[in-house]
């Protein structure tokens, strides 16, 4: 071992999985709040949830699932030495991430246009159960949006490293870890979508 | 070893990039450990001065040296600094980094650059916490717990302090992640799980709590931040929120966090006691299992901080029961330490003295914890000085003493120089007396009904408060003497050999100070347990 660079792919992957645990627990705090407030205001949650646009949410779900598929194929492509295909697929992923954020932007601005945003006067006039639904919706999807941006940034950085040849068919753990992070972003959305958009539809 | 040969080889202290840049950008776990250590000691001294000021203010009823608002800021800062900048990173980040990789025969931690990044996050968080004192609406005055609704409404600079706590939490998570991976992946040949020194085992259990609990603190302070910035109202009853939920989320982290604080201290004591009793650790496996059991059970008891917050009686009953369960693995450790000492050939050197005071004070702290864990008695003493006395017994009498024990045990290894043992013993005695006078007085005055965090009190409490304040002066003198002696020892003490205490674990098999690569060209091969003094040739 001495004289050589220390390399431990299993350890790197292990560390990434531990980090993903922490992300799940970070969102876990918000899911606890959701559970408690849903239990307290079941009817208000249904009323407020009905105002979210299920087409926006459903569309974004498809976009994220597609992006996750691309990352999964990209990892295999790199392992088989097909760098070009890998980079193209990652490009599609980044495009999906951008599309997701643009969609989210339209959705949020429509809601904000109706006076529904944290701290708004309209929210103070709504029944408390509906206000808390919209507030927790903004906080959860906002935090998720931040994670989409971070995940995309990590993937772009990985693409740079692939271009430079530092991540390649012989050492792809960096891409795999970036991909794992992206799958987490996807996974959290898979929970957010039904909890907020499909509530008792 | 002579002064000349010592000067010739100062191990990791002299090799590597020279100057300050060679330290603050070093990825060597020992250098990072020392960076943490000196930051942590500095913040401890700041927190200690604030504590002395608080005690001075309480010397007599009414305003003595500060206004009520300054007093609120002083105890908030004392808490924030001591909790987030001293006691949580204290033993794991400083001594864990210095010693743990060596104890398992590794060259470094699994992710050395991430380790350096953790330290930078720690420094950034500390800088922001200090900035919050001088900017915005003035220093935070909420107490270290940041309870809503007050923390959401006060005009003081709580937002910046919340960001600082978030960043410090992130630093703690990354250290935990690094340590778990290191202990899984980098143990040298022959270092089986049941040969890992108990200090490293305790860090392993701690690291899991850091990973699993700290993110919840992250989201809690993040929610407080957006509450203050945007008015998200998730804890505001007018908008359907519930302030109790803040307390739940806060304690889901902050109760396990007390085991982040105390488990490494228990690990230090578990490592020191066998060496100075010249006997293998009694019940090694029981200590290992009890560390993991504390980490697990400690995650299920958070709501015992909230008996008077308006929870249902069922919840109070369940959490009270679970709280008593944690006492079992803690007691297992105490009995194991005592059994290790029993019929041992005891050397009363400073590391053991601090460890013994840990055992005594932590036991008293733990038993008074049961008074608080039982719902009926808790209602009587909740939010009194009894609570303050209790957690200072566990946190300061426990973790603080273990931190000092670790300093006296391992710093001669790290610097290759020994402090003056006679002075260290005297300092220990003064600290012990000062500690008991201060915190026993607090417990008694709390039992009499003096609330915590109050600026003023009725004249009946004057005598005990003055006793506590005088105790704090004794404590302060003892601590100053101890730090002076240890720091002087690090730089001017007599040079020591590789194994001044006669330890059998790996860190004592390499030179003092350790070389940068720890073990040279060949990784060590472990053939016996960490407390097998016969096999190591010590006995």
Helix axes A9-40, B243-277, angle to 10 degrees: 140
Taking CA atoms, what residue in A is nearest to B238? A128
Which residues on chain B are in Cβ contact (under 8 Å) with A37?
240-242
pLDDT-derived band of residue A79, with 50, 70 and 90 as boundaries? very high
**B270 and B359 in contact (C-beta within 8 Å)?**
no
Collapsing DSSP to helix, strand or coil, B343 comes out as coil
Which residues on chain A are in Cβ contact (under 8 Å) with B111?
12, 15
User: Across all residues in chain A, what is the average pLDDT?
Assistant: 93
Per-residue model confidence (pLDDT) at position A1: 35
**Angstrom distance (rounded) from CA B155 to CA B163:** 16
CB–CB of A29 and B223 under 8 A?
yes
Partner B, chain A 37-56, Cβ-Cβ below 8 Å: 37, 40-41, 44
Per-residue model confidence (pLDDT) at position B249: 94
Per-residue model confidence (pLDDT) at position A201: 53
Per-residue model confidence (pLDDT) at position A2: 40
CB–CB of A26 and B215 under 8 A?
yes
Which residues on chain B are in Cβ contact (under 8 Å) with A8?
110, 185-186
- Residue/partner pairs of B192-197 with CB below 8 Å, 24 or more apart: B192/B526, B194/B284, B194/B285, B194/B288, B194/B529, B195/B526, B195/B528, B195/B529, B195/B530, B196/B103, B196/B104, B196/B530, B197/B103, B197/B271, B197/B505, B197/B506, B197/B530
Per-residue model confidence (pLDDT) at position B537: 85
- What fold is seen in the domain B3-509? Cytochrome C Oxidase; Chain A (1.20.210)
**B437 and B470 in contact (C-beta within 8 Å)?**
yes
Per-residue model confidence (pLDDT) at position B9: 73
Length of chain A (residues): 201
A3 pLDDT higher than 50 = no
> DSSP string of B244-312?
HHHHHHHHHHHHHHHHHHHHHHHHHHHHHHHHHHTSPPTTHHHHHHHHHHHHHHGGG-GGGG-TTTT--
**Angstrom distance (rounded) from CA B350 to CA B356:** 10
- Best residue in A12, A41, A118 to probe B by mutation, most B CBs within 10 Å? A118
- Run of H or E including A93: helix A83-113
Q: What is the mean pLDDT of residues A194-198?
A: 94
Select the residue of B181, B213, B220 nearest A15 (Cβ to Cβ): B181
Per-residue model confidence (pLDDT) at position B538: 83
Which positions ≥6 away from B415 have C-beta within 8 Å? Answer: B13, B489, B490, B491, B493, B512, B513
Per-residue model confidence (pLDDT) at position A177: 96
Which parts of chain B sit beneath pLDDT 50?
Answer: 1-2, 4
Q: Which phi and psi (to 5°) does residue B451 adopt?
A: -70, 155
Q: What is the mean pLDDT of residues A26-53?
A: 94
- Report how far Cα B186 is from the mean position of its chain's Cα atoms: 25
**Angstrom distance (rounded) from CA B237 to CA B229:** 18
Taking CA atoms, what residue in A is nearest to B212? A22
- Best residue in A10, A16, A18, A23 to probe B by mutation, most B CBs within 10 Å? A18
Nearest Cα of chain B lies from the Cα of A23 at a distance, in angstroms, of: 7
In chain B, where the domains are located: 3-509
Q: Give Cα separations from A15 to A31, A87, B185, B385 (angstroms).
A: 24, 25, 10, 42
Q: Which two tokens stand for residue B398?
A: 């426990």
Nearest Cα of chain B lies from the Cα of A84 at a distance, in angstroms, of: 30
Which residues on chain B are in Cβ contact (under 8 Å) with A27?
219
- Best residue in B212, B234, B257 to probe A by mutation, most A CBs within 10 Å? B234
Which positions ≥6 away from B19 have C-beta within 8 Å? Answer: none
Which residues on chain A are in Cβ contact (under 8 Å) with B185?
8, 10-11, 14
Per-residue model confidence (pLDDT) at position B18: 79
| In B81-157, alpha helices (H) | 88-89, 97-103, 112-134, 150-153
CB–CB of A119 and B230 under 8 A?
yes
What's the maximum distance between 2 C-alpha atoms anywhere in chain B? 73
Number of Cβ pairs < 8 A linking chain A and chain B: 117
Collapsing DSSP to helix, strand or coil, B477 comes out as helix
Q: Which residues are registered as beta bridge partners of B519?
A: none
**B160 and B138 in contact (C-beta within 8 Å)?**
no
Taking CA atoms, what residue in B is nearest to A119? B231
Q: Which domains does chain A have, with CATH numbers?
A: 9-197 (1.20.120.80)
Per-residue model confidence (pLDDT) at position A199: 82
Taking CA atoms, what residue in B is nearest to A10? B185
B351 burial via Cβ count (<10 Å: 0-12, 13-18, 19+):
buried
pTM of the model: 0.94
What does DSSP assign to residue B494? E
Per-residue model confidence (pLDDT) at position B15: 80
Is the CB of A15 inside 8 Å of chain B's CB atoms?
A: yes
Q: Give the tens place of pLDDT for each residue, B304-334.
A: 999 988 888 899 999 999 999 988 999 999 9
Partner A, chain B 178-237, Cβ-Cβ below 8 Å: 178, 180-181, 184-186, 211-216, 218-220, 222-223, 226, 230-234, 237
Q: Give the tens place of pLDDT for each residue, A123-155.
A: 999 999 999 999 999 999 999 999 999 999 999
**Angstrom distance (rounded) from CA B39 to CA B24:** 12
């Amino acid at each position: 071992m001495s004289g050589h660079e220390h390399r431990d792919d299993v350890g790197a992957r292990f560390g990434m999985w531990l980090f993903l645990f922490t992300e799940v627990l970070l969102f876990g705090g918000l899911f606890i709040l959701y559970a408690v407030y849903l239990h307290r205001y079941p009817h208000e949650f249904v009323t407020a949830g009905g105002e979210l646009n299920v087409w926006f949410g459903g569309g974004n779900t498809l976009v994220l699932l597609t992006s996750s598929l691309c990352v999964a194929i990209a990892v295999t492509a790199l392992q088989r030495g097909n760098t070009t295909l890998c980079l193209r697929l990652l490009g599609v992923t980044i495009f999906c991430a951008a599309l997701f954020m643009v969609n989210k932007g339209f959705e949020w601005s429509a809601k904000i246009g109706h006076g529904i945003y944290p701290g708004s006067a309209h929210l103070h006039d709504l029944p408390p159960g509906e206000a808390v639904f919209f507030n927790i919706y903004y906080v959860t999807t906002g935090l998720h949006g931040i994670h989409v941006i971070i995940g995309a940034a990590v993937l772009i950085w990985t693409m740079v490293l692939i271009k430079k040849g530092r991540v390649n068919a012989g050492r792809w753990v960096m891409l795999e870890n970036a991909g794992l992070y992206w799958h987490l972003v996807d996974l959290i959305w898979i929970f957010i979508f039904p909890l907020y958009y499909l509530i008792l539809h | 070893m002579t002064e000349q040969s010592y000067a010739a080889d100062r191990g990791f202290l002299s090799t590597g990039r020279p100057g300050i840049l060679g330290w603050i950008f070093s990825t060597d776990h020992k250098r990072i450990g020392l960076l943490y250590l000196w930051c942590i000691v500095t913040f401890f001294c700041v927190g200690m001065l604030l504590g002395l000021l608080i005690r001075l203010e309480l010397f007599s009823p009414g305003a003595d040296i500060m206004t009520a608002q300054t007093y609120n800021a002083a105890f908030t800062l004392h808490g924030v600094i001591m909790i987030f900048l001293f006691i949580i990173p204290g033993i794991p980040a400083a001594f864990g980094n210095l010693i743990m990789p060596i104890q398992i025969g590794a060259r470094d931690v699994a992710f050395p650059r991430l380790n350096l990044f953790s330290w930078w996050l720690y420094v950034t968080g500390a800088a922001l916490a200090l900035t919050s004192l001088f900017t915005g609406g003035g220093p935070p005055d909420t107490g270290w717990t940041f309870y809503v609704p007050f923390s959401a409404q006060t005009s003081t600079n709580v937002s910046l302090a919340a960001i600082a706590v978030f960043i410090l939490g992130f630093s703690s998570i990354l250290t935990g992640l690094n340590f778990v991976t290191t202990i899984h992946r980098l143990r040298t040949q022959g270092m089986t799980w049941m040969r890992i020194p108990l200090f490293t085992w305790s860090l392993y259990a701690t690291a899991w709590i850091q990973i699993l609990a700290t993110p919840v603190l992250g989201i809690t302070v993040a929610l407080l931040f957006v509450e203050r910035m945007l008015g998200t109202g998730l804890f505001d009853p007018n908008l359907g929120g519930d302030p109790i939920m803040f307390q739940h989320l806060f304690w889901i982290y902050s109760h396990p966090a007390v085991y982040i604080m105390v488990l490494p201290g228990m690990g230090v004591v578990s490592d020191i006691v066998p060496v100075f009793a010249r006997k293998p650790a009694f019940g090694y496996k029981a200590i290992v299992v009890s560390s993991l059991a504390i980490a697990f059970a400690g995650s299920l008891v958070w709501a015992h901080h909230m008996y008077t917050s308006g929870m249902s009686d069922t919840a109070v009953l369940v959490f009270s029961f679970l709280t008593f369960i944690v006492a079992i693995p803690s007691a297992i450790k105490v009995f194991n330490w005592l059994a290790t000492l029993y019929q041992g050939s005891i050397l009363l050197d400073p590391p053991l003295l601090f460890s013994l005071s840990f055992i005594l004070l932590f036991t008293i702290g733990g038993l008074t914890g049961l008074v608080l864990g039982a719902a009926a008695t808790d209602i009587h003493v909740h939010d009194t000085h009894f609570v303050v006395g209790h957690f200072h017994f566990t946190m300061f009498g426990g973790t603080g003493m273990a931190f000092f024990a670790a300093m006296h045990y391992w710093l001669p290894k790290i610097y290759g120089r020994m402090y003056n043992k006679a002075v260290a013993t005297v300092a220990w005695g003064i600290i012990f007396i000062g500690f008991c006078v201060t915190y026993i007085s607090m417990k008694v005055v709390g039992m009499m009904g003096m609330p915590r965090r109050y600026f003023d009190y009725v004249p009946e409490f004057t005598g005990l408060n003055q006793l506590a304040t005088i105790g704090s002066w004794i404590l302060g003198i003892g601590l100053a003497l101890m730090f002076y002696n240890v720091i002087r020892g690090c730089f001017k003490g007599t040079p020591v050999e590789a194994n001044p205490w006669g330890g059998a674990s790996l860190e004592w098999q390499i030179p003092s100070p350790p070389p940068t690569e720890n073990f040279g060209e060949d990784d060590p091969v472990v053939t016996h347990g960490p407390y097998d003094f016969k096999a190591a040739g010590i006995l």
